Amino acid sequence: MNITIHNLLTEQLATWETARDNYAALSGVQVKELNVKGIPYKVQFNPARIVSSGAKVDAKSISERKCFLCPANLPSAQRGVPFGGHYHILVNPFPIFPRHLTIPETEHLPQRIATRFPEMLELARALTEYTLFYNGPRCGASAPDHAHFQAGNKGFMPIEKDWRGQVGGKVTDCGEAVLWYLNDAPRTTFVIESTGKEDAEKLFGRLYHSLPVKPGEEEPMMNVLALYEADRWIVFVFPRDKHRPACYTAEGEANLLSSPASVDLGGVFITPVEKDFRKITAEDVAQILSEVCLPPEKFQEVIQKISDFSSHPDNI
């Protein structure tokens, strides 16, 4: 599968001008490093990502635009590779990563993770050179009306290599799977480590059903990263409390166009506006994370709820 995707990327960059230009522009993307309460983060200035960061995702705006992930509305130059009978692996034309994929469902179905998590694990096992990610419908997804994953080449996000040093403790286990929590405040992070797919699914189910669901929402707010290496899955789950921070809509100097999604929570903050890249500080990142991530007391409540689940075998 990795060779097939490599060929897809090569072909698309040769024939699709928009993708070729935006991937070429990545070589000039500026990056700076920040230490946020002892945790390493990077900030990327990437003007092409204004399409995602500035996306209008309210119900009215969505109803008035064509879905850009439906097969009938894809650019004429875009090609894809089928996966699992009902997904298409596509080259993302507005990349963050040197190799950036979008993996939409072929049908127009809403963005939800509960029933698709097993497929996310399958994708991670098939795409061993990539980290898969899922943005919840109010957690950075620019197409909350169409189910999809994304993927970027491994090793891009700091959390991928740094997470073991941030483990705060074990929450529970299930067969070949272990659920950890990280000491990485103000971010709130769970990690599933598993050599068994079904056990990983069971632990994710416990976590999913232990997270709070806001009124009017159909699933807990979350971002998810998944990768497969050394015969095991590593899954990062970032519970959320808020879609966008106050600075997103603030006036004047207080304005900072940050709409955090999986990549930001993985340690690479995307700034599509140059002035924001120049001025953003570790304190700004910490403030943004403290607003959008689950508050510490709710995080502890979730840990306790999962422990209660685990102590009763009949529970999820």
Residue-level pLDDT at 62: 74
Residue-level pLDDT at 69: 95
Predicted confidence band of residue 47 (pLDDT cuts 50, 70, 90): confident
Residue-level pLDDT at 15: 97
Q: Which of 89, 92, 86, 82 is nearest to 108 (CA)?
A: 86
Report how far residue 258's alpha carbon sits from residue 268's, in angstroms, rounded to the nearest whole number.
Answer: 12
- Superfamily of domain 2-310 in CATH is ATP adenylyltransferase (3.30.428.70)
Residue 235 has pLDDT above 90, yes or no: yes
Question: CA 229 from chain center: how many Å?
Answer: 18
Coil, helix or strand at residue 272: coil
Residue-level pLDDT at 64: 78
51-65, 94-108, 258-272, 273-287: which has the minimum mean pLDDT? 51-65
Q: Which of 247, 238, 239, 253 is nearest to 284 (CA)?
A: 247
Residue 316 has pLDDT above 80, yes or no: no
Coil, helix or strand at residue 125: helix
In a 13 Å sphere around the CA of 145, the CA atoms on its Cβ side amount to: 17
Rounded-to-10 torsion of CA 82, 147, 58, 288: -100
ω into 144 cis (within 30 of 0): no
Place of tokens 């074990």: 170
For the chain, the average pLDDT equals 93
Query: What digits encode the pLDDT tens for the residues 104-145?
Result: 999 999 999 999 999 999 999 999 999 999 999 999 888 899
Predicted confidence band of residue 56 (pLDDT cuts 50, 70, 90): low
Q: How many angstroms separate the Cα of 181 from the Cα of each of 152, 163, 172, 178, 208?
A: 24, 10, 10, 10, 14
Mean pLDDT of the region 225-230:
97
Query: What digits encode the pLDDT tens for the residues 138-148?
Result: 998 888 999 99
Report how far residue 265's alpha carbon sits from residue 238's, in angstroms, rounded to the nearest whole number.
Answer: 7
9-13, 146-150, 155-159, 249-253: which has the minimum mean pLDDT? 249-253
**For 152, phi and psi rounded to 5 degrees?**
-140, 155
Q: Residues 93, 311: contact at Cβ < 8 Å?
A: no
